[in-house]
C-alpha cells in the first residue's frame, strides 16, 4: 500500500514536472495593439502637425533659395566677378543650410516619434506581463516580427483580447490567429 502511494506521488510529480517543462505561450500583434490605443491617434496627430510645420519651413526655404538663385542668374552678367563669386558662395551656404535643416528636421521628427510612442509601447508591455501572470504563460510571441515558423494554436493562447481589456481598448473580436496563419503561409 505504501509503495502505491509513493508511486502515485512520484507519477504525479513527474506529470506536473513534464507539463511545466512544455511551456505555455501566448501570441499577440504588438504593433496592432499599440495602434489600437486611443493615445496612438493623439501621438500621430501631433507628429503630423510637426511634420507639416517642418515641411512648410523647408518649402519656404526652398522658395527663398529659388528666388535668390533666379535673381542671381538674371543679373550675373551685370555684376563684377568679385560680386558673382560672393553671391555664388551665399547661394551655396543657403543650399547647405537648407540641407542641414532637412536633416535636423528628420532627426527631430524621429526623436519626437520615439518620445510619443515609447510610453505607449511600455504600457502594452506592462499589460502583456499582467496577462501572462494571470494566464501563467511562460512567454509571448510577437506575431509582427514573423520570426516564428509555426505556432501551434492548441498549445498557445491568443492574448490580444485580454491585453486590449487591460488597456481599455474595445474592438470587435476577430480571429487574430487567422492573420498569423496567413503570415505563416507567406
pLDDT digits (tens, 9 = 90+) for 33-68: 999 999 999 999 999 999 999 999 999 999 999 999
User: Containing H/E element for 137?
Assistant: none
Average pLDDT value for residue range 155-161:
87
C-alpha cell read off for 181:
496563419
Does pTM surpass 0.85?
no
Per-residue pLDDT of 9-21, as tens digits, reads 444 444 444 444 5
**What was the pLDDT predicted at 5?**
52
- Is residue 32's pLDDT more than 60? yes
DSSP assignment of 65-103 equals: HHHHHHHHHHHGGGS-HHHHHHHHHHHHHHHHHHHHHHH
The pLDDT, as a whole number, for residue 155 is 77
Amino acid at each position: 500500500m505504501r509503495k502505491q502511494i509513493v508511486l502515485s506521488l512520484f507519477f504525479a510529480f513527474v506529470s506536473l514536472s513534464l507539463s511545466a517543462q512544455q511551456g505555455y505561450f501566448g501570441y499577440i500583434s504588438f504593433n496592432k495593439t499599440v495602434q489600437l490605443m486611443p493615445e496612438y491617434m493623439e501621438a500621430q496627430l501631433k507628429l503630423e502637425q510637426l511634420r507639416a510645420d517642418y515641411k512648410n519651413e523647408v518649402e519656404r526655404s526652398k522658395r527663398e533659395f529659388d528666388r535668390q538663385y533666379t535673381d542671381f542668374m538674371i543679373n550675373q552678367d551685370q555684376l563684377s566677378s568679385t560680386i558673382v563669386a560672393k553671391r555664388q558662395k551665399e547661394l551655396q551656404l543657403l543650399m547647405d543650410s537648407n540641407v542641414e535643416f532637412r536633416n535636423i528636421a528628420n532627426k527631430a521628427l524621429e526623436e519626437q516619434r520615439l518620445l510619443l510612442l515609447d510610453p505607449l509601447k511600455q504600457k502594452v508591455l506592462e499589460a502583456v506581463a499582467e496577462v501572462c501572470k494571470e494566464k501563467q504563460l511562460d512567454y509571448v510571441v510577437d506575431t509582427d516580427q514573423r520570426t516564428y515558423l509555426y505556432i501551434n494554436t492548441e498549445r498557445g493562447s491568443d492574448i490580444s483580447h485580454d491585453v486590449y481589456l487591460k488597456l481599455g481598448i474595445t474592438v470587435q473580436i476577430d480571429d487574430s490567429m487567422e492573420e498569423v496563419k496567413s503570415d505563416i503561409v507567406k
